[in-house]
Amino acid sequence: MKIAIAGAGFAGLSVAWHLAFHATKHHQITVFDPHSFPGGASSTAAGLVHPFSGKRGNLAKWGEEAFQAALNLFEEAKKYQSQDFVLHRGMLRLAMTKEQELDYKNSALTHSHLRWFEKEECRQHFPLLSPLPGLFVEKALAIDPQLYLEALKLGLKAKRVSFVDKSISDKEDLHSFDAAVIACGYKTCELTHGFDIPFRFLKGQGFEFALPNGVLPFKYAINGDLYAVMLRDQKRLFVGATFERGNADPAADLEVAKEKIYPKLKAMIPSLAEQEPLAIRSHVRLTTASHMPYVHRLEKNTWVFSGLGSKGLLYHAFLGKRLAGEIDSL
pLDDT at 309 over 90: no
Classify the C-alpha dihedral 288-289-294-298 as positive or negative. negative
Closest CA to 246 of 199, 212, 210: 199
**Of 34-43, 194-203, 284-293, minimum mean pLDDT range:** 34-43
> Is residue 241 reached through a cis peptide bond, with omega within 30 degrees of 0 on the bond before it?
yes
CATH of the domain at 61: 3.30.9.10
Which string of DSSP letters, residue by residue, matches 239-278? EE---EET----S--HHHHHHHHHHHHHHH-TTGGGSPPS
Q: What is the pLDDT of residues 21-76, one digit of tens each?
A: 999 999 999 999 987 554 578 888 899 999 987 778 888 999 999 999 999 999 99
What value does the mean pLDDT take over residues 245-261? 96
pLDDT at residue 145, as a whole number? 94
Cβ within 8 Å of residue 323, ≥6 positions away: 15, 18, 181, 295, 303, 305
Q: What is the pLDDT of residues 94-135, one digit of tens each?
A: 999 999 999 999 999 999 889 999 999 999 999 999 999 999
Residue 30, H or E segment:
strand 28-32
Q: Which residues of 146-156 are buried (b: 16+ CB within 10 A; e: fewer)?
A: bbbbbbbbebb
Task: Give strand pairing partners of 94.
Answer: 134
What are φ and ψ of residue 107, in 5° steps?
-65, -40
CB 62 within 8 A of CB 106: no
CA 252 to chain centre: 19
Closest CA to 116 of 132, 128, 140, 97: 132
In degrees to the nearest 10, what's the CA dihedral of 178, 179, 185, 188? 70
Average pLDDT over the chain reads: 94
pLDDT at residue 36, as a whole number? 55
Q: How far apart are CA 108 and CA 171, in angstroms?
A: 47
pLDDT at 5 over 70: yes
pLDDT at residue 39, as a whole number? 55
pLDDT at residue 112, as a whole number? 87
In degrees to the nearest 10, what's the CA dihedral of 290, 294, 296, 298? 110
CB 286 within 8 A of CB 308: yes
Task: Please give the tally of structural domains in the chain.
Answer: 1
One-letter identity of residue 280:
I
Closest CA to 47 of 84, 7, 100: 84
pLDDT at residue 53, as a whole number? 78
What value does the mean pLDDT take over residues 76-92? 95
At 188 the three-state DSSP class reads helix
**Of 20-24, 166-170, 246-250, minimum mean pLDDT range:** 166-170
pLDDT at residue 113, as a whole number? 87
Q: Distance between the two ends of the chain, CA-based, in angstroms?
A: 9
What value does the mean pLDDT take over residues 81-103? 94
Residue 296, H or E segment:
strand 294-299
Please give the residue that has the higher pLDDT: either 59 or 264.
264
pLDDT at residue 40, as a whole number? 72
> Residue 299 is part of which domain span?
2-329
Q: Express as a percent the part of the chain with pLDDT over 90.
A: 85
pLDDT at residue 55, as a whole number? 77
Q: What is the pLDDT of residues 277-287, one digit of tens each?
A: 999 999 999 99
pLDDT at 206 over 80: yes
pLDDT at residue 42, as a whole number? 86
Crossing angle for the helix pair 63-78 and 10-22, nearest 10 degrees? 70
> What is the reported pTM?
0.95
